[in-house]
Amino acid sequence: MTSSHSALIVIDMQRSFSALPEWGQVSNPDIVTNVARLVATAREKGHQVVWVLHASPNSNDEFDPAHGLVRPLDGLNPAEGEHIVTKTSRNAFTTTNLAQHLTRAGITDLVICGIQTEQCCETTARVAADLGYHVTFVTEATATFPIRWPDTGAVLGTDAIIERTEFALAGRFARISTIDSAFDTPAKA
């Protein structure tokens, strides 16, 4: 990837999640360390880093900005000049100016990481691919939680969620990558 055409999209790496009771069941206890490594690599290689936060105003939960948790997790600090957007939908495009920012900057290649693997990260990857971006999805720099089926109480574990997400994205919406190879070549999904 050429630095002038690439951006790392860091999705929902925010204190809202660490305040949830489910945080103890997070699929990737090293998520902050892994995302920090990816951010450091992006910066070293001259790629843009874009921070996406999720807010649910007036929800009175952990994602309500009034509670002060809609800010990066400890250990993750946006650098001066890095673009920060706050979304109110599951994907990072619909309720933000992300697409406009990327277009103005000439970005064609996106690397996606963050929380939750199958929700905001996957949804953003799918929308980005539909918008024409070359997408790289770095699963080891994402995290999720077990999902409970509302009607039956059945639980889908994190390993199954991650595997399903990779199968759904690979070759159609994104290139699945490790942290170490995320910026090696553009995705051609």
Task: Using CA atoms of 136, 17, 82, 45 in order, give the dihedral in degrees to the nearest 10.
Answer: -40
DSSP annotation string for 115-174: E-IIIIIHHHHHHHHHTT-EEEEEEEEEE---EE-TTT--EE-HHHHHHHHHHHHBTTTB
- Nearest CA among 54, 117, 50 for reference residue 88: 54
Residue with tokens 């290139």: 175
Determine the Cα–Cα distance for residues 16 and 150; give it in Å rounded to an integer.
22
22-33, pLDDT tens digit by residue? 999 999 999 999
55-67, pLDDT tens digit by residue? 999 999 999 999 9
Class of domain 3-177: alpha beta
113-141, pLDDT tens digit by residue? 999 999 999 999 999 999 999 999 999 99
- 3-class state of residue 53 by DSSP: strand
Determine the Cα–Cα distance for residues 22 and 146; give it in Å rounded to an integer.
8
| Confidence (pLDDT) at 1 | 40
The Cα-based distances of 50 to 79, 154, 158, 172 in angstroms read 10, 36, 26, 23
- Nearest CA among 111, 97, 90 for reference residue 12: 90
Determine the Cα–Cα distance for residues 57 and 85; give it in Å rounded to an integer.
15
9-18, pLDDT tens digit by residue? 999 999 999 9
74-83, pLDDT tens digit by residue? 999 999 999 9
Determine the Cα–Cα distance for residues 37 and 41; give it in Å rounded to an integer.
6
Determine the Cα–Cα distance for residues 32 and 188; give it in Å rounded to an integer.
28
Could you count the other beta carbons within 10 Å of the beta carbon of residue 55? 17
